[in-house]
Chain A
């Protein structure tokens, strides 16, 4: 039983959902910090960003962390799908008339849908940049580094791409708005003194991080 308590049980699935979710949240901060360099659109900014991109794809420690990251994304998605299927089964006959707005936010009840949309975005996003950086035919900059910067800049001259990014970040915001503080509750961290703080930090995080992410394509589109 101790085995299923930490792997198969309903609570175990929540723990893993929370742990991978919090890890992905930390990743978002690191990813954002690096990408904000893109806002510097001078030739110097281009060289610096390409240098950074090279470091991020070759430095061993970063590589190890990135494998943990890929695993976390897949696990979070897989676990989420499993939970969603089980939760559907838990109510085989649905209500004819249900007033969910009376007792919960709409996004807290739509985490699986929001998560699926984010997954679609991740695939699109990784195909556009991550795949090209690793296996695509990229030009070289004057320092001899792969010119990821130019690929990003060119990609974000397309309006539809920018729109998809901005919408995806709005989706991410709602996912985080529930997910961040929910993770703490799942791990048992609930205390009259700290829970209000966690909730406020969660709202701040869920709003600020996606806004800054969305700023990048918008900025590059405007200044192209």
Chain B
């Protein structure tokens, strides 16, 4: 059984309209082998037993691939540690007696639904605005392997494609900017021949949607790159800046 005692300060908010506040919860019997989410499960279990409302937080795969989990832990998205999501964060990162602050992602574009759960559908709308390629499905498909692609481009596109859309980049950015996410989605397609025909509209439409959603403006602090669980590079933001400029100048 666990041997750590922790003092949690957690954001509680009944619904989108509620103002919300930080509330303190002591938790005992935390094992250092638990993930952060399992520790919250223990706390919620205690709350339910006491007939209190459990804390709402997002999670799904619990193995760092779906992008559902979030949480701003001790001032950083996905907590301390690099290249991991909150579900991959283990309690051994903390010490017995620690006070841990847990807050939801803060962004005008990610309104709080309840407690620690926020609405990230703004990302879906940005994707829908251009994060796709149009292909025939009538049987005349071109074999993807028949297209020569330089290894470096394929690797870079793949790196961009590892973005799981968690929103940590927005959460940590002092400007609440979504540039790292959007640039990863733009790069992933524009680096490959299949993505080129629609490249100009794609970058123009996705940036337009990004601005509409109310995300802030990138000022190149680089905080997103440090906190991104998938190590998405700022190089993609520069690529998007280039593509957008060229598209803006040359689009008819």
- Seen from chain A, the residues whose Cβ lies within 8 Å of a Cβ on chain B are 1-2, 4-6, 9-15, 83, 86-87, 89-100, 102-105, 108-109, 111, 178, 181-182, 185-190, 192
B248 contacts A14, CB within 8 Å?
no
Closest to A109 in B: B174
A186 contacts B220, CB within 8 Å?
yes
Known contacts A5-B247, A5-B248, A10-B211; decide if A185 and B220 are in contact (CB<8 Å).
yes
Chain A hits for B80, CB < 8 A: 102
B235 contacts A87, CB within 8 Å?
no
B106 contacts A188, CB within 8 Å?
no
What is the bound-complex CA distance between A90 and B243, given in angstroms? 24
B226 contacts A102, CB within 8 Å?
yes
Chain B hits for A2, CB < 8 A: 204, 248, 251
Q: List 6 A-B contacts (CB under 8 A).
A: A9-B207, A83-B219, A89-B214, A96-B101, A97-B74, A178-B220
Closest 8 CB pairs of A and B: A99-B75, A188-B242, A90-B216, A190-B238, A5-B248, A90-B176, A103-B226, A87-B175
Known contacts A5-B251, A185-B238, A190-B239; decide if A100 and B174 are in contact (CB<8 Å).
yes
CB of B227 within 8 Å of the partner chain: yes
Residue from A102, A108, A188 in contact with B75 in the complex, judged by beta carbons closer than 8 Å? A102
Chain A hits for B216, CB < 8 A: 10, 86-87, 89-91
Interface residues of B, count at CB 8 A = 51
A14 contacts B218, CB within 8 Å?
yes
- Seen from chain B, the residues whose Cβ lies within 8 Å of a Cβ on chain A are 9, 11, 22, 72, 74-76, 80, 101, 103, 106-109, 172, 174-177, 204, 207-208, 210-211, 214-223, 226-227, 234-235, 237-245, 247-249, 251
Known contacts A10-B211, A11-B245, A87-B176; decide if A103 and B76 are in contact (CB<8 Å).
yes
B219 contacts A99, CB within 8 Å?
no
Chain B hits for A111, CB < 8 A: 219
* Minimum distance in angstroms from B179 CB to a CB of chain A: 8
B239 contacts A86, CB within 8 Å?
no
Residue from B174, B204, B208, B237 in contact with A104 in the complex, judged by beta carbons closer than 8 Å? B174
B249 contacts A6, CB within 8 Å?
yes
What is the bound-complex CA distance between A99 and B80, given in angstroms? 10
What is the bound-complex CA distance between A100 and B76, given in angstroms? 8
Chain A hits for B214, CB < 8 A: 89-90
Closest to A7 in B: B248
A87 contacts B76, CB within 8 Å?
no
B220 contacts A182, CB within 8 Å?
yes
B76, B217, B247 — most chain A CB neighbours (10 Å): B217
A13 contacts B217, CB within 8 Å?
yes
Residue from B108, B176, B215, B248 in contact with A12 in the complex, judged by beta carbons closer than 8 Å? B248
What is the bound-complex CA distance between A117 and B29, given in angstroms? 51
Chain B hits for A83, CB < 8 A: 175, 217, 219
What is the bound-complex CA distance between A71 and B3, given in angstroms? 64
B217 contacts A87, CB within 8 Å?
yes
Closest to A94 in B: B106
* Minimum distance in angstroms from B146 CB to a CB of chain A: 30
B211 contacts A98, CB within 8 Å?
no
Known contacts A86-B217, A90-B176; decide if A104 and B222 are in contact (CB<8 Å).
yes
